């Protein structure tokens, strides 16, 4: 079985499990929408135009709540299951790729729905032809966050304080993704070029992809 086929199988299983559990749609997404509402209610009345902060709030909520999706319990493995996977010859790189792909798919869906709520609730200032750029940024940001969270989840896997520790690892490391994603629309609003920020997102994704594939075998050894 090729690496691609193995990764596809891992992603398929993850997505099937998520469809049955439904954490993303039933729990995290409503929770994130509530967070958007809390932000708008907590904003001082002196700030009359919520549109000014709409996209910033969107990225803050998308990344912090997106981490909950990428670090979901259904994506973690018991030591026994991990051993079985090693015994059947599953390539650790395929596991990283498959898991990241599944998380990225969920994150893209989550961010897209959250964006709709942001536009409705905040009415943010958006430049012309923003939607294709925003969708591209969502794809790149979701991929970066998914890969980083998969790596952090593996590094902290099996530890008693896994969820808190993995979040502490991901949150500061995800800064290049947040900066690239948030500055793209900001640059469009100011009629500046967006290439620099898109390149930052692509570079971060490529570095994480390389690191994830390259470190997957040592990670498997460390997890035993």
Partner 1 sequence: MKRVQILLLLAAVALAGGAVLAFSAPLDRLQGEYTRLLYVHVPTLWIAFLAFGLTAFGSIADLIRKKMRWDRRAAGSAEIGVLFSVVGVCTGMVWGQVVWGQAWAWSAARLATPGLLVFVYIGYLALRQAIDDPVRRARRAAILGTIAVVQTPLVYFSVNLWRTLHQTQSIRPDGSTMEPEMLVALLVNVAAFTIAYIALLVGRTFVSRLEEDAAPATELAGDQVSPPRLSEVEDV
Task: Enumerate binding residues for partner 1 (CB under 8 A).
Answer: 148, 151-152, 155-156, 159-161, 165, 168-169, 171-173, 175-176, 179, 196, 200, 204, 207-208, 211, 215, 218-219, 221-222
Output Rg (C-alpha) for the chain, integer angstroms: 18
Place of tokens 């969920």: 106
What are phi and psi for residue 161, nearest 5 degrees?
-110, 40
Residue closer to partner 1 by CB (options 38, 175) is: 175
Return the DSSP state at 57.
Answer: H
Is residue 28 packed enough to be buried (19+ CB in 10 Å), middle (13-18) or exposed (0-12)?
buried
Residue closer to partner 1 by CB (options 140, 151) is: 151
Residue closer to partner 1 by CB (options 10, 178) is: 178
In the complex, the smallest distance separating the C-beta of residue 27 from partner 1, rounded to whole angstroms, is: 25
Residue closer to partner 1 by CB (options 94, 201) is: 201
Place of tokens 């470190």: 215
In the complex, the smallest distance separating the C-beta of residue 202 from partner 1, rounded to whole angstroms, is: 14
In the complex, the smallest distance separating the C-beta of residue 115 from partner 1, rounded to whole angstroms, is: 23
Place of tokens 């409503």: 30
Judge whether 71 and 151 are in contact, CB under 8 Å. Answer: no
In the complex, the smallest distance separating the C-beta of residue 25 from partner 1, rounded to whole angstroms, is: 29
């Amino acid at each position: 079985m090729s690496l691609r086929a193995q990764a596809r199988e891992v992603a398929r299983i993850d997505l099937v499990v998520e469809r049955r559990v439904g954490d993303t749609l039933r729990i995290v997404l409503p929770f994130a929408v509530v967070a958007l509402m809390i932000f708008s209610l907590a904003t001082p009345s002196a700030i009359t135009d919520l549109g000014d902060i709409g996209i910033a709030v969107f990225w803050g909520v998308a990344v912090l709540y997106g981490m909950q999706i990428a670090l979901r319990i259904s994506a973690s493995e018991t030591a026994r299951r991990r051993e079985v996977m090693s015994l059947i010859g599953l390539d650790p790189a395929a596991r990283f790729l498959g898991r990241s792909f599944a998380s990225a798919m969920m994150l893209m869906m989550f961010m897209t729905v959250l964006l709709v709520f942001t536009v409705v609730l905040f009415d943010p200032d958006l430049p012309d032809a923003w939607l294709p750029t925003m969708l591209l940024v969502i794809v790149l940001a979701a991929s970066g966050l998914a890969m980083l969270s998969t790596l952090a989840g593996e590094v902290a896997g099996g530890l008693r304080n896994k969820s808190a520790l993995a979040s502490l690892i991901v949150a500061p490391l995800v800064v290049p993704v947040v900066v690239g994603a948030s500055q793209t629309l900001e640059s469009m609003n100011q009629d500046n070029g967006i290439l620099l920020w898109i390149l930052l997102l692509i570079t971060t994704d490529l570095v994480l992809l390389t690191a994830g594939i390259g470190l997957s075998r040592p990670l498997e050894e460390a997890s035993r």
